[in-house]
A and B are shown apart, each in its own frame.
Chain A
Amino acid sequence: MELSKETVKSLGALARMELTQEESGLLSAQLEDILRFIDKLKELDTSKTAPTSHILPINNVLREDKPGRSLAVARALENSPQKDGDLFAVPKVIE
């Protein structure tokens, strides 16, 4: 599997993560190595095997829709890099 520097850059864009030219180059080489190793899985015939996404036989974990304790607004905002009154503040979204 080839994973070019450009592909790595666009994956970085998908993941909202800036990568330098140098980082993209290094990641491209390292990830190609890793993908070659991972390709080992193609040796197996999995056409009749069901996927396991959760290891325990539990599903549809539901609870009563009861209001419980929640964080006070002030505590929830304590860690925010920038706030505005009772809100998280972010740079402008729409031009």
Chain B
Amino acid sequence: MELNTLTAHELLDLIKEGSATSQAVLNCLYNRITDIDAKLNAYVRLGATPPEQAAVHSGPLCGIPVSLKDNICTDGLATECCSRILSGFRPPYDATVVSKLKAAGALIVGTKTNMDEFAFGSSTENSLFGATRNPWDLERVPGGSSGGSAAAVAADEAIIALGSDTGGSIRQPASFCGVVGMKPTYGRVSRFGLIAFASSLDQIGPIAKDVKDAALLMGVISGYDPGDSTSVDVAVPDYARALGDDIKGMKIGMPREYFVEGIDPEVKKIVEDSIAKLRELGADCREVSLPHTEYAVPVYYIIATAEASSNLARFDGVQYGLRISDKGGSGGLLDMYCRTRGNGFGQEAKRRIILGTFVLSHGYYDAYYLRALKVRTLIKQDFDRVFEDFDCILTPTSPTAAFSLGEKAEDPLKMYLSDIYTISANLAGIPAISVPCGFAKSGLPVGLQLLARPFAEETLFRAAYAYEQNTPWHKMKPKIGSGAQG
């Protein structure tokens, strides 16, 4: 068996008993990347070697290579958000999650994973480096925006990876690629060193081959950080301890609004089968209602673009990245700003900057931005009410399996609607996990999403692990480009 096909916890056992070395794992991984990444394009800037890392001989991730999305800063190692405007950027510091990984003994993979520019997208097609392909079907998207991380994990080109999730960018690609992905509670994981998209929604989280690996990685990256004033000082539990507990009597709510129009009937059937499985395991599954569900996407595209338009103001050709000015800069500073930004941002980034600028502009602020903040309150209250009586909420992660490359690229609204089931968790700040729950006839994986109250990641791990251990889905591997294999 090739080492790169194993999970982090399996490798940790092998390394501990001396039957594998971290160098051997790294070699296997780099061979795999060399062999297949030309087909997938899950990584960008191939061949980049990380600066020397002091060897750490202990720690919960000792010797395990971790792959990082291209928006997570690494000291001296290129981080470009897959955008032209950040070309050549080598951060002068590590993100807090990266410092934590290094302290835990993890090895940082030198090349970053592909993403939609600035995480603007649901398909990883909006990247300066070209689209990533889905390992289960090369003509399909891997989801996005953390599509590179999800595809790399699914294709055994990564042992484990980090992504970021602003409206579903970890969970939807995890679902499309048949792997596990978690968006933690807002404030659970430090955002220091994550290049900001929408600061009130962004969270970094794990993408892994199974639930145990996701729990392991969450244990390492979670915790209070004075460098992020929105991180929360709540003790980090031992997530691995939640695994293996039974789910007898666990109360799970299925919001009726998620199972109506727009959902692919095959996806619906697969998710219903998984509900039957959870009932068999002793969970008490009942229908609930989240009445403001249909307003989540419009609220999101006001708040997220408003925050993005402010956050992206820093890319102005002065401190880092691209600068374009006319000959000798005779047009002055303003001209340099406009040329740099006009040339440096891709189409989706421009669309969001313009929309965000509009909803914040004089005369429209109350009608759009302020109204969206109010409806955000209503969406949060929907969840609060359900969590008074339920431990978690179950939904499909996405209304369909992976769609075709180019299918939604020309229609932004259609693309935005593919996040319809994942966006609410970001608006409400609650944790959510996507776990593989079956395959469509086309051979494409389908994911199931579980959501819980703030800081109840343990509940999600417990339920997801119980489900996973009683189903075969997480063991399925794609034969690159030709559907499901046992």
Contact = CB atoms under 8 A, between A and B. Distances in A.
Contacts, number: 167
A53 B355 CA distance: 19
A41 B428 contact: no
B187 A41 contact: no
Nearest to A13: B338
A3 B358 contact: yes
Contacts of B318: 80-81, 88, 90
Contacts of B9: none
B431 to A, nearest CB: 12
Contact of A80 (B292, B319, B374): B319
Contact of B334 (A16, A23, A58): A16
B92 A49 contact: no
Interface in A36-95: 37-38, 40-42, 44, 46, 49-56, 58, 61, 63, 71, 75-76, 78-82, 88, 90-93, 95
Given A15-B309, A54-B200, A49 B350 contact: no
Contacts of B377: 49-52
Interface string B398-432: 00000000000000110010000000000111000
Contact of A81 (B93, B294, B317, B429): B317
A63 B184 CA distance: 25
A73 to B, nearest CB: 11
Interface residues of A, number: 51
B357 A50 contact: no
Contacts of B313: 15-16
A91 B350 contact: no
Given A55-B200, A80-B319, A91-B332, A31 B338 contact: no
Contacts of A33: 412-413
Interface in A6-33: 7-8, 11-20, 23, 27, 30-31, 33
Nearest to A43: B295
A31 B358 contact: yes
A18 B334 CA distance: 11
Contacts of B333: 90-93
Nearest to B344: A17
Nearest to B88: A79
Given A53-B200, A75-B92, A34 B412 contact: yes
A56 B302 contact: no
Given A18-B339, A44-B375, A81-B323, 8 more contacts: A15-B309, A16-B337, A18-B341, A18-B343, A31-B351, A71-B92, A76-B92, A81-B318
A55 B338 contact: no
Given A30-B351, A34-B355, A91-B331, A54 B230 contact: yes
Interface string B337-361: 1110111010100110111011001
Contacts of B331: 91
B277 interface: no
A54 B376 CA distance: 10
A42 B229 CA distance: 33
Interface in B282-325: 292, 294-295, 297-299, 301-302, 309, 313, 316-323, 325
Interface residues of B, number: 73
Interface stretch (B146-154, B365-373, B472-480): B365-373
B316 A16 contact: yes
Interface of B: 88-90, 92-93, 186-187, 200, 226, 229-230, 232, 292, 294-295, 297-299, 301-302, 309, 313, 316-323, 325, 329-339, 341-343, 345, 347, 350-351, 353-355, 357-358, 361, 368, 370-378, 380, 412-413, 416, 427-429, 454
A51 B337 contact: no
A90 B317 CA distance: 9
Nearest to B379: A52
A90 B457 CA distance: 47
A45 to B, nearest CB: 10
A15 B353 contact: yes
29 contacts: A11-B354, A12-B342, A15-B341, A15-B353, A16-B316, A16-B337, A17-B353, A19-B354, A30-B412, A34-B412, A37-B297, A38-B302, A38-B368, A41-B375, A42-B371, A44-B375, A46-B375, A51-B377, A52-B374, A56-B230, A58-B230, A79-B88, A79-B90, A79-B321, A81-B321, A90-B329, A91-B325, A91-B331, A92-B332
Contacts of B301: 34, 38
Contacts of B372: 41
A76 B332 CA distance: 24
Choose among A50, A56, A93 the residue with the greatest number of B CB atoms under 10 Å from its CB.
A56
Nearest to B297: A37
A12 B77 CA distance: 32
B413 A16 contact: no
A51 B378 CA distance: 9
A44 B377 CA distance: 12
B232 A79 contact: no
B374 A50 contact: yes
A3 B88 CA distance: 36
A17 B294 contact: no
A45 B335 CA distance: 44
A34 B413 contact: yes
A80 to B, nearest CB: 6
Contacts of B92: 71, 75-76, 78-79
Given A12-B354, A63-B226, A52 B341 contact: no
